[in-house]
Amino acid sequence: MTDRRRIALTVNGLQRDGEVEGRLLLADFLRHHLGLTGTHLGCEHGVCGACTVLVDGQATRSCLMLAVQANGRSITTVEGLAPDGEASHPLQAAFHERHGLQCGFCTPGFLMTLVEFLEENPEPDEAAVREALSGNLCRCTGYQGIVDAALQASASLRETSGQ
Amino acid sequence: MKPPPFHYHDPQDLDGALDLLARLENAKVLAGGQSLMPMLNMRFALPDHVIDINAIESLAFVRESGSRLEIGAMTRQHDLERSAPLRRLCPLMVEALGQVGHRATRNRGTLGGSLCHLDPAAELPVVAAALDATIQVKSKQGGRSIAMADFPAFYMTPAIEPEELVTAIEFEPWPAGHGHAFIEFARRHGDFAIVAAAAMLELSPEGTISRASVTLGGVGTAPLRCHGIEEQLLGQHGSAALFREAAEANRGIDAMDDVHASTLYRQHLAAELTGRALATAFERAQERVPA
C-alpha cells in the first residue's frame, strides 16, 4: 500500500511540506520528518497527553491525528513557544522556577495544554487548573509543582498583557 | 503502536463519502479520531480503507427546527459545549460534555463519533438515550431514522449497515425549567465512567413530578433506561426519601463485572448515583435554573 500524499502546512510560523503515507501520525511527521523532537510520544493512544500540540490554536493529541489531516493547518509545537535566541515563554520560566518538571518527558504536553487553557482562562483557580491538566500524566514530580507553575504563569501573563 | 497500512480517502462532500462507503469493503469512517485512532494505533482495528469525513462541513451544525433540535454528527464536542442553543435547550448534554475525556480530546472528538463507537461507559450515548433521541443515517440508497433505544445492536456496535453513515441526531428538548443532572464516578476526571447516571425531571404547577427520565451508563453493553423508576416517580412529591427509595431498585440491576469494577460495586454506584442525580435534577427543577 503505497498511496502517498503531499502535504503543506505551517509549523511554528514556517511553511513546511512533506510526502507522507496515509497512516503516518502527525506526531511522527513532526518528529521524524521535521526533526521537531520536542513533541514526545508516551502512550500513543491518547491517554498520557505528552504529544499535545496546537492545531489552529487548539490543543490536540498529535498521536490521534494523521499527518495528512494537518494539510493546510497551522501547528504550534513546544519549539514554537520560545524560538532560538528568545527568552523562555512565561510558562516555561514558571515550570523552571516552581519545579514543574523533573525528567521533562511529559513537559511539552503540559505546556501546550496550558497555553490554550490560559489563553481562554486568564485567571483560573487551582481547581480549574487541575481539571485542565487531568488529561496529562506526569510520573515523577507529582502535580503540585506543575499546578503552582500554571498559576504563577497565569499571573505573569496577565501582567504582561496588562502592560 | 502505529496504525496498520490502509488506503486513505478524504471525500469533500456527503455524496462522496456515501459513494465510497457503498463501494469499499472493510472500510472504517474516521470522524474526530479520538476512539478510532487509538484502535488503529493498537491495531485492534485493521481496516483496508479509512474514510476521513472531517472535510464534510455540512455535517457540523446545531439547528433548531420547529420543536426539535438537530445536531450534525461531525459537530465537535468542544463546539457543543459552547453552543448557545444547546446550553439553553439541553443543559443535560452540556453537563455530560464536561465529563467527556479532556479538553484536547473534545477539541477533535465528535458527537456522531462517540455515538457510533458506542463505548458502554461513554457519556453521550447515555444522553441520547435519556432524551429519546433519533439517529439519522444515510446511504446511497437513501436515509432512515433509528430510535436511540434501537441504535445499539450489541457491544460497541451500532445497528447500522456497513454502507450507512450517521449524519445527525435530533430530539425534542424538554421545556425550559425542567431539572437535569449528569453524574458519573470515574477514577480520574475525564476517564470513562465506571457508572454514570442521567436524570431529568419536570414538575407540574402543583409541584408533583409530571415527567421523569432516568438513564444509566457503564452497567451494561448499552445505555439503560430505568423505566420502572420513571413510572414510580410520576405524580409524587419529590423528596430525599422518595429519590433514595426509588433509586434502590438499581441495586438489583444486571451489571457488568470487569477489571475496573465488580458487579456488586457497579450496582452500588448505580443506586447511589441515581439517587444523587434525581435529587440534583429535582433541586434544579424547583429553582427553575436551566443551568
Asked if ipTM goes beyond 0.85, one says yes
For residues B196 and B190, is the Cβ–Cβ distance under 8 A?
no
pLDDT digits (tens, 9 = 90+) for B17-56: 999 999 999 999 999 999 999 999 999 999 999 999 999 9
Among B158, B219, B221, residue whose Cα is nearest residue B193: B219
Domain that holds residue B38: 7-52
Residues of A in contact with B30 (CB under 8 A): 66
Please state the domain count of chain B.
3
Which parts of chain B fold into alpha helices (H)?
A: 14-23, 36-41, 77-82, 84-89, 91-97, 103-106, 111-117, 123-130, 227-233, 240-247, 263-287
Q: Would strands B134-139 and B142-147 be described as parallel, antiparallel, or unpaired?
A: antiparallel
> In chain B, what residues touch A135 (CB-CB under 8 Å)?
101-105, 190
Average pLDDT of span B92-107: 96
Choose the CATH number for A4-80 among 3.20.20.70, 3.40.1530.20, 3.10.20.30, 3.30.70.3270: 3.10.20.30
Q: Determine if the pTM surpasses 0.90.
A: yes
| Closest residue to A60, CB basis, from B2, B101, B108 | B108
Q: Which helix (H) or strand (E) holds A160?
A: helix A144-162
What pLDDT score was predicted for residue B289? 46
Calculate how close chain B gets to A77, using CA atoms only, in Å.
14
Domain range annotation of chain A? 4-80, 90-162
Neighbours of B44 (CB within 10 A): 10
Specify whether the CB–CB gap between B285 and B202 falls below 8 A.
Answer: yes
User: Do both B34 and B78 map to the same domain?
Assistant: no
Same domain, B87 and B21: no
CB of B60 within 8 Å of a chain A CB? The answer is no
Task: Give the Cβ contact number of residue B267 at 10 Å.
Answer: 19
Is the domain defined by A90-162 classed in CATH 1.10.150.120?
yes
CB A103 within 8 A of CB A141: no
Nearest to B38 among A45, A59, A134 (CB): A45
Write the DSSP symbol of residue A4.
Answer: E
**Taking residues B189-194, what's their average pLDDT?**
86
Mean pLDDT over all residues of chain B?
96
Q: Which residues of A touch B10 (CB under 8 A)?
A: 68
Confidence at residue A2, expressed as pLDDT on a 0 to 100 scale? 61
pLDDT in tens, B48-61: 999 999 999 999 99
B108 touching A, CB under 8 A?
yes
pLDDT value, residue B290: 44
- Residue pLDDT, tens place only, A76-128: 999 999 987 788 999 999 999 999 999 999 999 999 999 999 999 999 999 99
